[in-house]
C-alpha cells in the first residue's frame, strides 16, 4: 500500500473534495461542483462515490460497500478491494460495524447511527434533467426555487398510470429548500433519508457532490390528494420472513420459479442467524 | 361591429381621464439595436386596463423586437417599460429575475406565433395547461385537472383529449392549447406575436372569434402583433403602425384605418382594400 497516498487520492485533491462536502453539508441538497479526478475504474462504477469515500476515510475507519443491497456483487467487491489495497482500512459486511458505508441503489435496512457516514454513488445528480435539458436553466430554477416542473412530471405520472408511478430516484426536497435526486434508491428507502447518519452523494462524471446533514427534513414530493406512498409489494422475505424490508424478486430454477428475498443481504443473514425463518429457508 | 369597437375605445379613452386608475403599462422611449442594425427606436405609449393594442407593419419593421422588449424577453438599449404593480408603476427591468418570472407566469402571458415555442410538446395537454398553476404552488391533482378540463372546454378542445400530447393536435388546436395554457392563471396582460400566423384562413377566423370572446370575458389587456389588418379591425381598440423600427402613426383603430395620415399607412390600407 505504500505505493499510494492513503486512500489513493493526493492530499490537495482530498482537501478540495472535503471543501465541497462541507459546502454541501452547509446547504442541504445543493449540488456543489467539484473537479472530479480520473479513478482507476470506469464511470458508472461509482467514481463519484469512491472519491467522496476516499476523502472521508481515516485509517481507523471500517468500510462496508454495497451494490443493490448486496456486499458480494462485482461492483461492491472491487470497490471494497480497492480501498483495502490503497487505504488498508478494515472492511465489514455488517452494517452495524461499519463507520463508512458506500452504497449503490439502497439504504441499509439496519437503522444507521450518528457515528456513521453513508456515501451514495450517483449517476445523474440533477432531478430536473429529464424535464429541462439546459444546465444553465436548471441552475436558475434551483436558485429561484422554481420547481413547478417537478410537479408536472408527477402530474403526467398520475394522468397516465392513475398513480405516481415513479418508483426509483423519487425526488425529494431537503430542509424545505433544494429539490434533490436521492440517487436511484427505491422510493421505499426515501423515508430513511431522514437519518442520524451523515449522507453524502457523489456524481463522478457529472462532477457534483451534495449532502444531507444528520436529521435533515427530507420530504418526498407529492400532491395533496395523491400523497407519497413508499410501500412495496406485500410479500415476506422467503428466506428470513421479514415483512418490513425491501425485496428483490429472484428466479430460483429453470422452470421459472420465483421467490422474494431481502435485497439487503447483511440484514437477511443477520435475521436468519437470530433464528428467523421464511417459507423457503433451508432448515 | 366597427361602431361597437370605436365606442369601446371611446369609453376607455374617457376612463383614462376620469377613472381613479392609471395605465397598466407605460412605455417610454424604448430603443433596441442588434449591433449596428436598428430593431426599434424611441417607442412610447400607454396601455390602459382592458385595452387591446394592435401593432402592424411590414416584415422587419421591428414589431417582434418591440414586443420582446415590452415582455421582458429582450433588454432595451434605452427607455423604460413600467408596469402597474402593488406599489404603482414599476420599472420591469429593475425587478429581480425571480420577481420577473413570477410576473410572467401569473400576471402576464405570451402567445407565440409557433405553438411549439409556447408548448411543451412532450407533456400532455392537461400537463401543459396545469404547468403555470403548479409553477405557482398548486399541489392538488384533482383541482389542477379540473382547471385544465375547464380551460380545454373554453378553447373548444374535447375533454377526452386531455391526456394526449400536443404533437397529436392540429395547428389550430395547438394554438388554442397554447392560449389555454397561458390564460389559466388569469393574467391581466397578454402579449401575442402573430397568433393566427401559420393557420388556414378558416381556422384563423375561428381562433380570432375565440380570442375576442376571451378578451371581452376576462377583460384582458392585450398587445397583439400582426400584419393582418382584418385581425386588427376585429380585436384592437388602438393601433400602432411601424416602419423601419419607428412608429409612424398611432391612434384609435377605426380612425387610423379609415383616415390614415401617414403615407405608409395609406399604402398599407390601400393594398388591403385592393387585395
Ligand atoms: N436576433 C437578431 N439579430 C440581428 N438582427 C435582428 C434580430 N432580430 C431581428 N433583427 C432585425 O431587427 C429588425 C426588426 O426585426 P423584427 O423581427 O422585430 O421585425 P418584425 O416586424 O417582427 O418582422 P416580421 O413581420 O417578419 O416578424 C430587422 O431588421 C431584423 O433583421
Ligand atoms: Mg416578427
d(CA A69, CA A73): 9
d(CA A193, CA B95): 37
Q: Which atom of ligand 1 is nearest to the CA of B61?
A: 21
Looking at CA atoms only, how far is residue B123 from chain A in angstroms?
7
What's the pLDDT tens digit per position in A51-69? 999 999 999 999 999 999 9
Q: Which residue's CA is minimally distant from atom 16 of ligand 1?
A: B62
**Domain map (residue ranges) of chain B:** 8-23+47-107+187-275, 121-186
Q: Which residue's CA is minimally distant from atom 13 of ligand 1?
A: B39
Nearest CA in chain B to A148: B135
What's the pLDDT tens digit per position in B206-241? 899 999 999 999 999 999 999 888 899 999 999 999
A136 shares contact with chain B (CB less than 8 Å):
no
Q: What percent of chain A has pLDDT over 70?
A: 98
3-state DSSP call for residue B127?
Answer: helix
d(CA B114, CA B133): 22
3-state DSSP call for residue A177?
Answer: coil
Is the backbone of residue A35 left (phi > 0), alpha (psi -120 to 50) or beta? beta
d(CA B216, CA B209): 11
Contact (Cβ atoms closer than 8 angstroms) between residue A4 and residue A13: no
Whether pTM exceeds 0.90: no
Q: Which residue's CA is minimally distant from atom 29 of ligand 1?
A: B60
Nearest CA in chain A to B135: A148
Could you tell me whether strands B88-91 and B78-85 are parallel, antiparallel, or unpaired per DSSP bridges?
antiparallel
Nearest-by-Cβ selection for A152 from B127, B145, B162: B127
Edge-to-edge strand list for the sheet holding A218-220:
A178-180, A172-174, A218-220
How many angstroms does the Cα of residue B5 sit away from the middle of ligand 2? 26
Nearest-by-Cβ selection for A155 from B97, B98, B130: B130
Contact residues of ligand 1, CB 6 A cut-off: B 34, 37, 39, 57, 59-65, 227
Rounded mean pLDDT, A143-157? 94
Continuous segment of H or E residues that includes residue A1: none
Nearest-by-Cβ selection for B134 from A151, A224, A226: A151
CA end-to-end span of chain A: 43
Interface size, chain A vs chain B, as Cβ–Cβ contacts under 8 Å: 54
Homologous superfamily (CATH) of B8-23+47-107+187-275 is P-loop containing nucleotide triphosphate hydrolases (3.40.50.300)
Q: In this predicted complex, what is the ipTM?
A: 0.86
Nearest to A125, CA basis, from A65, A174, A161: A174
The verdict on a CB contact (< 8 Å) between A151 and B162 is no
Rounded mean pLDDT, A260-278? 96
Is the backbone of residue A243 left (phi > 0), alpha (psi -120 to 50) or beta? alpha
d(CA B89, CA A244): 60
Q: What percent of chain B has pLDDT over 70?
A: 92
Cα-based angle B88, B225, B268 (whole degrees, multiple of 5): 130
Chain B residues with a Cβ under 8 Å from any Cβ in chain A: 97-98, 101, 120, 123-124, 126-127, 130-132, 134-136, 138-142, 144-145, 162-163
Write out the DSSP string of B164-219: S-GGGS-HHHHHHHHHHHHHTT--SEEEEESTTTTS-HHHHHHHHHHHHHHHHHHT
Could you tell me whether strands A117-121 and A90-91 are parallel, antiparallel, or unpaired per DSSP bridges?
unpaired
Q: Report CA B202 to chain centroid distance, whole Å.
A: 21
Phi and psi at residue B153, to the nearest 5°: -60, -45
Looking at CA atoms only, how far is residue B11 from chain A in angstroms?
40
Rounded mean pLDDT, B70-85? 96
Question: B13-19: long-range contacts (C-beta < 8 A, 24 or more apart)?
Answer: B13/B252, B15/B48, B16/B48
**Domain map (residue ranges) of chain A:** 11-220, 232-283
Q: In which band, very low, low, confident or very high, does the pLDDT at A234 lie, cut at 50, 70 and 90?
A: confident
Which active-site residues of A does the annotation give?
29, 237, 240, 262, 268
The fold adopted by the segment(s) A11-220 is Rossmann fold (3.40.50)
Q: Which of B33, B35, B62, B226 to mutate to test the pocket of ligand 1 (most atoms within 8 A of CB)?
A: B62
Cβ neighbours for A255, distance < 8 A, ≥ 6 positions apart: none
Residue B7's pLDDT is 45
Residue A185's pLDDT is 97
Amino acid at each position: 500500500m505504500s505505493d499510494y497516498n492513503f486512500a489513493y487520492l493526493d492530499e490537495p485533491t482530498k482537501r478540495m473534495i472535503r471543501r465541497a462536502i462541507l459546502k454541501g453539508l452547509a446547504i442541504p441538497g445543493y449540488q456543489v461542483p467539484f473537479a472530479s479526478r480520473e479513478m482507476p475504474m470506469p464511470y458508472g462504477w461509482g467514481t463519484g462515490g469512491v472519491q467522496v469515500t476516499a476523502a472521508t476515510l481515516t485509517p481507523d475507519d471500517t468500510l462496508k460497500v454495497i451494490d443493490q443491497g448486496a456486499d458480494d456483487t462485482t461492483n461492491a467487491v472491487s470497490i471494497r478491494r480497492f480501498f483495502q489495497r490503497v487505504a488498508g482500512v478494515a472492511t465489514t459486511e455488517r452494517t452495524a460495524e461499519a463507520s463508512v458505508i458506500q452504497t449503490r441503489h439502497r439504504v441499509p435496512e439496519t437503522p444507521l447511527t450518528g457515528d456513521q457516514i453513508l456515501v451514495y454513488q450517483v449517476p445523474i445528480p440533477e432531478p430536473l434533467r429529464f424535464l429541462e435539458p439546459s444546465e444553465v436553466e436548471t441552475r436558475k430554477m434551483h436558485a429561484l426555487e422554481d420547481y413547478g416542473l417537478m410537479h408536472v412530471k408527477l402530474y403526467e405520472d398520475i394522468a397516465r398510470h392513475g398513480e405516481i408511478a415513479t418508483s426509483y430516484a423519487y425526488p425529494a426536497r431537503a430542509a424545505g429548500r433544494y429539490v434533490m435526486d436521492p440517487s436511484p434508491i427505491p422510493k421505499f428507502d426515501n423515508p430513511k433519508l431522514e437519518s442520524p447518519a451523515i449522507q453524502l452523494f457523489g456524481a463522478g462524471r457529472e462532477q457534483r457532490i451534495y449532502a444531507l446533514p444528520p436529521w435533515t427534513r427530507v420530504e418526498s414530493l407529492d400532491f395533496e390528494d395523491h400523497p407519497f406512498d413508499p410501500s412495496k409489494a406485500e410479500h415476506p422475505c422467503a428466506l428470513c420472513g421479514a415483512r418490513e424490508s425491501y425485496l428483490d424478486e429472484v428466479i430460483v430454477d429453470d422452470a421459472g420459479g420465483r421467490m422474494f428475498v431481502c435485497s439487503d443481504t447483511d440484514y437477511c443473514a443477520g435475521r436468519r442467524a437470530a433464528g428467523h425463518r421464511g417459507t423457503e429457508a433451508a432448515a | 361591429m366597427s361602431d361597437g369597437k370605436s365606442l369601446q375605445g371611446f369609453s376607455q379613452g374617457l376612463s383614462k381621464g376620469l377613472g381613479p386608475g392609471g395605465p397598466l403599462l407605460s412605455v417610454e422611449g424604448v430603443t433596441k439595436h442588434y449591433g449596428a442594425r436598428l430593431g426599434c427606436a424611441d417607442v412610447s405609449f400607454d396601455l390602459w386596463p382592458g385595452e387591446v393594442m394592435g401593432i402592424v407593419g411590414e416584415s422587419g419593421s421591428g414589431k417582434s423586437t418591440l414586443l420582446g422588449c415590452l415582455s421582458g424577453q429582450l433588454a432595451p438599449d434605452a427607455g423604460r417599460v413600467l408596469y402597474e404593480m402593488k406599489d404603482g408603476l414599476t420599472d420591469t427591468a429593475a425587478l429581480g429575475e425571480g420577481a420577473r418570472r413570477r410576473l410572467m407566469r401569473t400576471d402576464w402571458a405570451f402567445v407565440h406565433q409557433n405553438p411549439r415555442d409556447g408548448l411543451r410538446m412532450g407533456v400532455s395537454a392537461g400537463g401543459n395547461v396545469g404547468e403555470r398553476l403548479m409553477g405557482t404552488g398548486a399541489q392538488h391533482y384533482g383541482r389542477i385537472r379540473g382547471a385544465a378540463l375547464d380551460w380545454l372546454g373554453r378553447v373548444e378542445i374535447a375533454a377526452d383529449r386531455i391526456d394526449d400530447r400536443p404533437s397529436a393536435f392540429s395547428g389550430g388546436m395547438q394554438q388554442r392549447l397554447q392560449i389555454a395554457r397561458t390564460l389559466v392563471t388569469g393574467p391581466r396582460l397578454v402579449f401575442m406575436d402573430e397568433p393566427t400566423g401559420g393557420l388556414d384562413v378558416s381556422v384563423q377566423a375561428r381562433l380570432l372569434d375565440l380570442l375576442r370572446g376571451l378578451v371581452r370575458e376576462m377583460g384582458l389587456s392585450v398587445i397583439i402583433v400582426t400584419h393582418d389588418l382584418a385581425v386588427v379591425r376585429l380585436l384592437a381598440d388602438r393601433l400602432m403602425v411601424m416602419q423601419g423600427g419607428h412608429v409612424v402613426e398611432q391612434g384609435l383603430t377605426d380612425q387610423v384605418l379609415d383616415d390614415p395620415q401617414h403615407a405608409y399607412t395609406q399604402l398599407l390600407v390601400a393594398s388591403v382594400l385592393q387585395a
